[in-house]
Structure 1
Amino acid sequence: MASENAESLSGKLRLAYAGLVVTPLFWAGNAVVARSTVEQIPPLSMSFWRWVIALAILLPFGLPGLWRHRLVIRQHLGSMLALATFSVGAFNSLLYFAAVSTTATNIALINATIPIFVALLAWLLLGDRTRPIQVLGIALAVLGILVVVSRGDITVLTGLDAQPGDLIMVAAVFSWGLFSVLLRRQAVPLPALTFLTAQILLGTLVILPFYLVDLMFFSGGFTVSGDTTLPLLYVAIFPGILAFAFWNHGVHRIGPSRAAIFMYLTPVYATVLASVFINESLGRFHVLGGLLILTGLVLATRLGRRPPANPLSE
């Protein structure tokens, strides 16, 4: 019996690690798909329909929880609306806007700094204690971002000639940092599936008026075809629902600190996928900036208190 229990536990751990290995692959795929479909699907259309599809899949499972906890949702509606705005609404929309004018590799590298922005904002807004080693890590990661945004040329920054997409991606990561800090300050007592369903529902409603304005006066939407439907299904199912499920299972089995290490695979996967599928080349500034960012992440998170991470960021 003990041997069977040990084998069962070992199997569950292997499954947890396997899920954590493929989760950053899904997140990296989100950046590559966003970059590869900018000509076919406008950013707000991608953001809106991604969450509509995800909501349609989740709703049959999450609707009973929404009804059962409707009083809690009503009591915390203001907080939940703010959380949905910064996460589902702003973060993902900004990420897709960033893809119009920057590379998938840059998106993934800047996106990898989410724990840094969370730690920095928690220090500024919540008064979290920050150890000297964490300050060094934050400084290195910020320096890495500057290397990536400037493409290794300081005159790009001094001449205000940075790629708009890089700056938009920094704004996206900042938005996720605000979401994470608000999530800690205004915790909502809901089960995970109910909370996720409510967040996606509210976030989709936040995006809706902007999507309609964009549809009628700017982009005109997109043509439904295999070239547009398949990418939408991917970003809804894989970096959305499956990554969420795998991430939470991994955190439950091996703990948040060890699980968070797998986040560092995202830029690696993105670099390979972007090279294979959309012919993006890797520059020396990517390597230097990536090393600075990853070193900063290790110092600021592994040697200090782990800031919260959430798979909705992809």
Structure 2
Amino acid sequence: MPVAPRLSPRAVGFGAAVITVLVWTAFIVIARASATRSLLPFDIAVARMCGASLVLMPWGAWLVRKAKREAGGGPVVSSMFGLSPLGLRVTALGGVFGGLGYALVAYCGFFYAPAAHASVLMPGSLPLWTTLLAALVLRDRITKMRAAGLALIVVGDLLVGGSSLLHAFEGGEIWKGDLLFMSAAFCWACYSIVVRRNGLDAVRATIAITVFATMTFVPAYGLLAAAGWITSHLGTAPRGEIAFQMLFQGLGSVVISGITFTRMIQYFGPVRSTMITALVPGLSAFGAVVFLAEPLHWSLLAGLLLVTGGILFGVQRVQRVQPNAPKAATPLARVAGQADA
């Protein structure tokens, strides 16, 4: 039988980047549209976690059992009752930022600010936070060209978020969403650094953060809702809406884009990976205008151009590193060359 050709690491990396950009663009538009319907932010987060766990929890249990068989009774790294294929420390660290923090903060932001603001502030802030964290934690060097690109991103963010902050004392609430969007980007940047520093496998990292988020937040959410301390609309919302959120937010935003984003990190590194998302601000802002009838004010348009330009500037000027070069033989590079189980 002929053996099917294996994709090169370059093809996998670029394919993962394309899928990530498309899913992230749809995420921004759909999440904002969901804020005008029946479910509340925590409801959407629960649907996201439950939808993803239907696929990833059995997958994680299978990986752990497989590892135990191969180890022949020897010690196997796992946690969360054998559902996470990673150790408890890494599972919890990645789960707090990539599983819980990002989802809860981002969904709350969409209930205050329009999708066009999220289009600029979430993907726009991500390269900024990731670069700073990579320099602090991983000792990555910030070149002059990269710093110039990040400066454009900061100015663009200020044009978008600064205008809403100026109206904060007038009773507006958009500034709350803007701050939440930037906080969500910080959470995802922290997760990308955890992936890079620990050389995590794409599938296992996504499984681990989903298991942690589901097993910690969902029970807490149920208890708080039953006690009346938080409001839940899961019992009254249309079943079709809940099913859609579980399918898109869970399967699409977590399972698919979570794996492709981690693959992208493994090939390009955390800073260049977030730079590649340059298409997300423009595509999602355009989608917000077309599908949500949101206006494009001059400050928003200027901020969008500056952020996109800053990201593209960083992509063009960042020094290219070949993943298979000898100097890149780090734990991350070794993981990138492994096939998923």
Fold in common (TM above 0.5): yes
Letter in 1 for 2:159: V
Percent sequence identity is 21
When normalised by structure 2's length, the TM-score is 0.74
Q: Does 1:49 align with 2:60?
A: no
Cross-structure match for 2:22: 25
Distance 1:302-1:47 versus aligned 2 partners, 3 A rule: farther
Partner of 1:199: 209
| 1:239 aligned onto 2:253 | yes
More helix by share: 1
Pairing of 1:292-303 with structure 2 (within 5 A): 292-303=306-317
Contact 1:51 1:200 in 2 (8 A): yes
Report 1 or 2 for greater relative contact order, CA contacts < 8 Å, sequence distance ≥ 6.
1
For 1:37 and 1:278, how far apart are their aligned partners in 2?
11
Q: Deviations over 1:2-59 (max 9, x none)?
A: xxx9xx7999999986764453222122122211122411111211221211110233
* Aligned partner letter, 1:27: W
Q: Give the letter for the 1:285 counterpart.
A: S
Q: 2:55 is matched by which residue type in structure 1?
A: I
| Aligned 1:7-86 pairs, distance under 5 A | 20-38=17-35, 39-69=37-67, 71-74=76-79, 76-86=87-97
Deviation at 1:148, TM superposition (A): 1.0
Letter in structure 2 aligned against 1:89: L
1:259 Cα deviation (Å)?
7.0
Alpha-carbon offset, residue 102 of structure 1: 0.6
| Runs of at least 5 residues in structure 2 that lack an aligned partner in the other structure | 69-75, 80-85, 322-331, 333-341
Selected match of 1:181 from 185, 188, 193:
193
1:73 shift after superposition: 2.7
Partner of 1:312: none
Instruction: Supply the distance in 1 between the matched residues of 2:309 and 2:179 (Cα, whole angstroms).
Output: 22
| 1:95-174 paired onto structure 2 within 5 Å | 95-113=106-124, 114-151=126-163, 155-156=166-167, 163-174=175-186
Shift of 1:154: 7.8
- My pick for the range that moved more, 201-210 or 39-48, is 201-210
Contact 2:165 2:175 in 1 (8 A): no
SS of equivalent to 1:227: helix
Change (3 A) 1:134 1:213: farther
SS at match of 1:112: helix
Given that 1:48 and 1:208 are in contact with CA atoms closer than 8 Å, whether structure 2 keeps it comes out as: yes
Q: 1:42 to 1:154 in 2, by over 3 A?
A: closer
The answer as to whether partners of 1:29 and 1:239 remain within 8 angstroms in 2 is no
- Structure 2 residue corresponding to 1:89, chosen from 75, 83, 100: 100
- The Cα shift of 1:200 comes to 0.8
Change (3 A) 1:260 1:120: closer
TM-score by length of 1: 0.79
Q: Deviations over 1:174-198 (max 9, x none)?
A: 122222233334x16x643233212
Per the TM alignment, residue 246 of structure 1 is displaced from its structure 2 partner at its CA by 5.1
CA distance in 1, matches of 2:7, 2:62: 33
- Give the aligned partner of residue 311 of structure 1: none
User: 1:135/1:158 Cα in 2 relative to 1: closer, same or farther (>3 Å)?
Assistant: farther
Equivalent of 2:243, from 229, 254, 268? 229
The letter of the residue matching 1:104 is: A
The alignment partner of 1:218 has SS state of coil
Q: SS in structure 2 opposite 1:72? A: coil
Task: Single out whichever of 202-211 and 278-287 deviates more from structure 2.
Answer: 202-211
Work out the CA distance in 2 between the residues paired with 1:263 and 1:306.
17
| Distance (whole Å) between structure 2 residues aligned to residue 196 and residue 267 of structure 1 | 24
1:150 Cα deviation after fit: 2.2
Contact 1:98 1:164 in 2 (8 A): yes
